[in-house]
Structure 1
Amino acid sequence: MIQSAASPLSPRDARRIERYAALAEASRFLHPVQQALLHRRGWLKMLAPRASGGAELPLPQVVRLEEAVAGVDGSMAWVLTLCAGAGWFAGFLPPDLARGIIGTHRVCLGGSGAPTGHAEQDGDGWRITGSWDYASGAPMATHFTLNAVLRANGQPLLDEHGAPRIRAFLVPAAQVQIVPSWRSIGMRASASHSYRIDNQWVDQRHGFTISPAAATADGPLYRYPFYSLAFVTLAANVAGMAGHFLRLAPPCMGRRRHAVKNLPLLDVPEVAALLRDKEEALATARAHFYAELDRSWTLVASGTRLAPDDALSVQTASLALVAASRAAVDELYPYCGLYAAHEDSTINRVWRDFHTASQHTLLLP
């Protein structure tokens, strides 16, 4: 209904993910079988450069896979998306360093984009201190990425506009302390915990700049703008969860009767029309979203720089998909009955995951 017939996720993998989703939520992290699948399929390396041992898949293929996984288990899709997204940063590291990191056994990169720490200049490197929130997949991370304010002699280093300079870093997990803090109503198995670093030194080569001009890997993936990549991957997750909800809603509605009209709920014309309208609206927004994603990717793959208007079109289509997803879930939920409010039901887990994931700051209307 929402996903195309040619799903990038095999039925066997989908069944395996689904089978362990409830157990993963109960334990508050991905089930070992789900973790093994992420590694076996190489999904956590799908955005890393081929030269460093990654798959370097075309972005539209990656986004469709992320949506398909989100259509089965939101937490697993979120870990996949955020950790594979951090693997994309390998395209901005020195190539030999990137090869060593991506070649790590069961490599998984997690992290946070907020500049809530500082990096003090120390010889040929930086001494990092700070704390960061929302590192999805933290328990399985082998490395953490972060943004930090640069300092020298205790004072912030300033850019040409007089603002503090901020730099991205990649730090081995051995230098990081995970702080269990993830207590959300949904996405429980994403284990998006906080983490801290206390006065740990890293070589300057572990710092990097996220910009097409600073890419160390060839290929269109590393010329695609960071924020455009973030918009499409996050929106696809939200759409996948909304599609999952829409597949679960009709059976819930089918067990209910309208109290006033004394008809099966799905036989009430207004209710049937609402369901049809939300399905069609989401399908239309999804089609437009993928048309914009595919168009933007074709431009970048051909060597064309994505112009500001093109990047804005990608952002607009992403937010329109999120808006259609929100409208579908929020307007249909009241018709799904108390079963949908039961914490142990699948539709309730999907509803909670959806409303947690869609709180991401980039997805604000």
Structure 2
Amino acid sequence: MIEIARADPGSGWCYALGAGHQITLASYWPADVQAVAFGPRGEFIAPHNFARTGKALKVDDGWLVDGEFPFGSGVPYSTHFLLTIAASGSDAADDSVTLLLERAEYEVLDDWSGAFGMKASGSNAVRVSGVVVPDARAIIRGFDDTDATSTVGSRLHDDPLYFGRTDGYHYAGLAAVIVGTARAAFDEFERIVTTSMSANIRGAGKADDPVYQEVLGGALASIDSAETLALASAGSYVRAARRAVRSGETFTALDASRMAGLARTAGALATAAIDEMFVYAGTLNVSDGTRMQRYFRDSSMFRTHGRQLPRSSASQLARDYFADSSVA
């Protein structure tokens, strides 16, 4: 994932949030539904939208959905669409339901062309027009259950990877994308530094200027640290899921928040490195059409994602920390 994003950040985002939800499908839906969804080629690409508005209405043969849902990253190439939405008209009225929609059941809107960055992410909106999703493709209760010690997928595939806690693994995928973006920005900054003359030291290249050496070295250290944290976040998920499945140890909300914290810190280090390289790249190297401008715009777009906002995420980590009985 890091290398895909290094080649093209938007494509990396599109891939991460499209293909990455194979884990969600394989964790929660029964074997027959998974077999149909993956198909004979094992191809499953689906964004997962957590709807802020609207409801799914329980009807006799499934769940009736009607509405538009923005930011379906990966949806232009999708085979399916995952939608978590408030449930209505059932005994689970206070819960949400997660629905698996097939490609013929939703429309991809052409509304992503004006994005500031991540233009290749395919984060188009999705329209669902009066579709009834069968009960077999609906998960209500048990999704991201903090008391679970196994899931359909961990039992079916005999693999803790499919324990399914999206609040544990989702952030690591996003961190991988921005780490790849930072690697790409570093590649471009290195090209600039090694092919440009310094304005500070007469007759010297920027590679021999201590100012640019400090910026380049600092960026490399930050990006290396960000990658280490992103991988640590993913590894923490696997270890916690393994403990839950093999030993019955609870995968707590605090566990998930700390994994998210690792990934968000990776993002903060990577975006800060991109910011500084952008500044020191020089005006000629950040004009329209340049790689560095594109990486800066992609990084800026990454920071607007709701799950990357530092203050709200830090507050959630603190709440989970104080609520966890093991630290009381």
* TM-score range for the pair, normalised by the shorter chain length: 0.7 to 0.9
Mapping of 1:1-365 within 5 angstroms? Answer: 66-90=1-25, 91-103=27-39, 106-152=43-89, 158-159=93-94, 165-182=95-112, 183-209=114-140, 210-211=143-144, 213=148, 215-218=151-154, 219-262=159-202, 263-302=204-243, 303=246, 304-365=249-310
* Uncovered stretches (5+) of structure 1, i.e. residues with no partner: 1-65, 160-164
* Cα drift, residue 272 of structure 1: 0.9
Change (3 A) 1:226 1:273: same
2:326 aligns with: none
Give 1:244 shift. 1.4
AA at the equivalent of 2:193: M
Per-residue deviation, 1:311: 2.9
Give the C-alpha shift of residue 107 in structure 1: 3.7
Q: Deviations over 1:132-164 (max 9, x none)?
A: 0111222221211112222229xx9633xxxxx
AA aligned to 1:75 is G
Is 100-109 or 66-75 further displaced after alignment? Answer: 100-109
| Paired residue secondary structure (1:184) | coil
> Which whole-Å deviations, capped at 9, do the CAs of 1:238-293 have from their partners, x for residues lacking one?
11111111121021133433435444333221221122122113213432443453
Q: Which shows bigger deviation, 262-271 or 88-97?
A: 262-271
Q: Which residue type is aligned with residue 202 of structure 1?
A: V
Q: In structure 1, what residue type is equivalent to 2:178?
A: V
Letter paired with 2:5: A
For 2:24 and 2:254, how far apart are their aligned partners in 1?
Answer: 25
Structure 1 CA distance for aligned equivalents of residues 200 and 211 of structure 2: 13
User: Is the 2:193–2:206 Cα contact (8 Å) retained in structure 1?
Assistant: yes
- Alpha-carbon spacing, 1:285–1:195, altered in 2? closer, same or farther (3 Å): closer
What CA deviation, in whole Å up to 9, does each residue of 1:328-349 have, x standing for no partner?
1101112212343233333333
SS at 2:152's partner residue? coil
Identical aligned residues as a percent: 22
Looking at structure 2, the residues matched to 341 and 100 of structure 1 have their Cα atoms a distance apart, in angstroms, of: 47
Residue 118 of structure 2 aligns with an amino acid whose one-letter code is: M
Question: Are residues 170 and 299 of structure 1, via their aligned partners in 2, closer, same or farther at CA, if it must alter by over 3 Å?
Answer: closer
Structure 2 unaligned regions, length at least 5 = 311-328
CA contact (8 A) 1:118 1:150 kept: yes
Question: In 2 relative to 1, CA 292–115 (structure 1 residues): closer, same or farther, beyond 3 Å?
Answer: closer
Q: Deviations 1:167-212 (Å, cap 9, x if unpaired)?
A: 1111112121221111213222222110111211121121114225
TM-score with structure 2 setting the length = 0.80
Distance 2:99 2:209 in 1: 57
Whether the 8 Å CA contact 1:116–1:147 is kept in 2: the answer is no
Computed over aligned residues only, the root mean square deviation of the Cα atoms, in angstroms, reads 2.4
CA separation of 1:166/1:296 partners in 2, compared to 1, >3 Å: closer, same or farther? closer
Q: Which consecutive aligned stretches of 4+ in structure 1 deviate over 4 angstroms post-superposition?
A: none
Shift of 1:295: 4.3
Q: Contact 1:293/1:314 (CA < 8 Å) preserved in 2? A: yes
Deviation at 1:356, TM superposition (A): 1.9
User: Residues 75 and 261 (structure 1 numbering): CA distance in 2 closer, same or farther, change over 3 Å?
Assistant: same
Alignment size in residue pairs? 293
CA distance in 1 between counterparts of 2:51 and 2:224 reads: 33
**SS class of match (1:113):** strand
Deviates most, 170-179 or 86-95: 86-95
Residues 104, 345 of structure 1: alpha-carbon distance in 2 compared, 3 angstrom cutoff: farther
The letter of the residue matching 2:119 is: R
